[in-house]
Amino acid sequence: MNKAKFLLLMLLPLAARTYGDDFGMLYNIGAEKKLGSKWEIEAGAELRNRNNSRTLDRWELSADASYKILKGLKIGAGYSFLYDNNEEKITYHSDGSVNNWRPNYWGARHRFRVDLTGSVKPNKRWQFQLRERWQYTYRPSKTTDRYDMDNQMWDNDYVRDAKAKHILRSRLQVKYDIPKSKFEPFANAEMFNAWSIEKIRYHIGISYTLKKQHVFEAAYRYQHLYGDDNDNEQNRHMIGLGYKYKF
């Protein structure tokens, strides 16, 4: 190992930081198709970053289908393939010295979901919506590199074990149809619950529809953590930009 890399590893305890609020951007693009009066299918892609928008965080491909059970009530299911940039991890001995260092690496996750969505419109302008979503995420095992500071050597066969996770996501949303306008503001709050509340995401944004087919969206998200969700996330501010084409 060269001297520069060795010096970097020795300085890792000084580089360890206290995680505060982060900022990132989120971009998504999608397409939606109605099949008759009850079925609807959708596909999309998403890209987001972190570390004050300096580091690519994740990209995602997704597909969903929903069925209208009756007016104001629909059931849906979907799948997402996620490819994550996992942050580096440092472990320490009891005396505070570095034990191991695992660099950042890319890894896949598979996510399945089923949801039930209810909507009410007390008048022509306001819409209130509650969505309850069960989500299952599976992360396959992954072989990565890890540096053992005690023995001053690389472990190239370190295995991060596979992991599965169930979570209930509850989202309450409100929309307002501005008279004689193609703009529609919205706001929502979503709670992530896995036996206890892990985090809540707050959104506020606006969508613009052009010729009934092109939907553009801009939103602000704040994510507040209440516990360890094992995804190495932080309290995070995000600006989201999106586009959807409706067939």
**pLDDT tens string 205-246:** 999 999 999 999 999 999 999 876 556 678 999 999 999 999
Tell me the two tokens of residue 39: 């079925």
**Burial bucket for residue 65 (CB in 10 Å: 0-12, 13-18, 19+):** middle
Q: State which residues form the domain around 99.
A: 3-246
- Mean of all residue pLDDT scores within the chain: 89
Number of compact structural domains in the chain: 1
Q: Say which CATH number the domain at 80 has.
A: 2.40.160.40
Query: Could you tell me if 192 and 219 are in contact, meaning their C-beta atoms sit under 8 angstroms apart?
Result: no
Q: Please state, in angstroms and rounded to a whole number, the distance separating the CA atoms of residues 117 and 76.
A: 8
Helix spans in 11-65 (H): 12-15
Give the number of other Cβ atoms within 10 Å of residue 50's Cβ. Answer: 21
Name residues whose C-beta falls within 8 Å of residue 195's C-beta, 6 or more positions apart in sequence.
Answer: none
Q: Per-residue pLDDT tens for 67-105?
A: 999 999 999 999 999 999 998 888 888 888 888 888 889
Q: pTM value?
A: 0.85
